[in-house]
Structure 1
Amino acid sequence: MSKVILGVSGGVDSSVSAYLLKKQGYDVVGVFMKNWNEEDDDGVCTSTDDSLDARLTCSKLGIPFYTVNFTKEYWNNVFTYFLREYKKGRTPNPDVMCNQEIKFNAFLDHAMKIDGDYIAMGHYARKSKDNELLKGIDENKDQSYFLARIEKEALKKAIFPVGEYKKDEIRKIANELGLRNANKKDSTGICFIGERDFDKFLDKYLFTKPGDIIDVDSGKVIGKHKGIIHYTNGQRKGLGIGGIGNLEPWFVCGKNINKNIIYAAQGVNHPANYSIGLIGEDIHFIGDKPSDFNGVKAKFRYRQKDVDVDVKIKNDEMILEFDDFKGITPGQVAVLYKGDVLIGSSIIKKPIPKFEKYSYLNDCVD
């Protein structure tokens, strides 16, 4: 009987994963990963509640439960990356890095040390017989995007029990089993920030100061920002510059970290918001680099529809060209798919503007 070390989070997806694995005949061990120590704004450590849910669920399902502490690894390999990217004026995706560095690296190593044959996670993703990473069946919950940076060898050892199901089916199974977390709210946001005030959290770790918001067309100062790290490309809310100009909404279309400037453009369809390509760095393929990129599509953020792209690799950079797309954000992950197969990714370095006159916006991030 193969032994599977399952990452249990206290949520319904990993809980039903435990049941499905047992049903398939695996010897299942539930392990809760403690990655963060801090309390939220109300003085509550949410990981304590999640750990309790995970432990009680494992007990109900009759599987062993353990806790492993990865707070040091998380701080060194995920959180410091998160802070470093924000200091550069970029907007990182720490959940992608958590999968790369913790769940499919540190956790995998731990699982092998305790004689596990496989690891399992409650991600809505699938794996082919050839160990290709596939999208989950549920298009609304597919989480393959967050797995774009894991290694092929880790994927060979991974099982995704809920990937063949839709979310409502998983909740139905959980209710039929009488699991305490059957209707538990899905976790949202960055795992170590949770429900707390995001701007307040960033200010605790990074120095920032107010600066000018400049109209990308006139070059005039139209407002003040509270710190450049609190803004991202495409952002609409929180600019505090309503009632100016033609009364259409304003959007962040660029940042200059050295000059502490936010550039804003007015109107949903303002040309400064649009790109026709991007340049990516830190290229990663799950397996060998494809011999061709015909038929490849891409996502530039989670829950976005796939976009047709032309792919070029040049000087360790990935150049993606596409039709108009709004809000390309440095620091985010551009993920490539061929059908349902996730083939690789790169970290967005800068967008390629639709119009040359806005090219200076691309050089605003260190």
Structure 2
Amino acid sequence: MLYGIAAAATALLLTALLAAVLRAPALRLRLVERRLVERRRQREVPLSGGVAVVVVAGAVAGVQEWGSAGGGIGGLLVAGGAVALLGLVGDVWRLRRRVLAAGTAVAAACVVPYAEAGVGTGLLGVLWVVGVTFAFRGIDHADGLAGAVAVVTAFGVAACAAVDVMDGIAALMSVLAAALTGFLLYNWHPARVALGSCGSMSAGFVIAVAAVHVRAGFGLGESAGVLFALTAVVCADAVLVLWSRRLGGRALPRSGPDHLAHRLRRLGLTVPGVTLLLGFGAFSAVLTGVLAHAGRVGSDALWWVAGGALVVVFALSRVPVYADRRSVSPQVRASLRVRNG
């Protein structure tokens, strides 16, 4: 117990320190992304946060794995590191999404628990891991959002693992959550560092695979409900984006201001307000998933989570985000870009 608390505290402090140290080199190497702020200004945010989270969480969890005579997470650490490296390459050279997806699928296929889940369910798990990984990558556009949702989700998966006495996964999720909390010290609005594909993809990947391991061997239907509850916010965001782009006749890989956070900003919420609201939504859904996994609530509660997510998706899909640029003046277009920030 005390060892786990010490490991989490170490991960938090080291991530905060390393994220700050790597900020200047990231700026010099132009490892940055541009984010829109108020008054039509853009700022460059270095992507050193993702590297810091991956390095510290991997190192601390690796020491725990070695010191505890093996907790069964060695393969997950290696696969997560491979996805992090793939994401870092994507940050530097802007790899196509299909390349990132293929690499993530290969990594997931190597660590999904086929023995407990079966081959067919295991392959479904691979697809789900890829989807969640990209869903986390998709919400890494607003200050504090990806980190906050990932912290809540990681703690939820850790709680589920602790219920089943899966100490290795519980420790890994706790360390990851602590590292992400250290990152959030620099990612809260206005963000001084960001996760980038390196951090968001690796965090989403490790969380998703750990959740699959936790639910392996349970019924497929209830497991799908629990997994959805644990990742309700990122899944709802992905469904909303895919649905709105499909209806709008836009190419699915094309980026746009059509995520949950963008639409909430259009309704007048501030950037911190959006993060807090979606973070609370993630906490509520994750708590339901944990209680369902522990048998404290029935499966009916999972339907409430799914129904609530669908209501949110439908309601926010009514918020207009695709302006007709031919019929909008340059002044209005500039205003829309600011509001989408």
What TM-score results when the alignment is normalised by the length of structure 1? 0.26
Q: What's the TM-score once normalised by structure 2's chain length?
A: 0.27
Which structure is higher in helix share?
A: 2
Between structures 1 and 2, the one with greater strand share = 1
The structure with higher relative contact order (CA 8 Å, sep 6+) is: 2
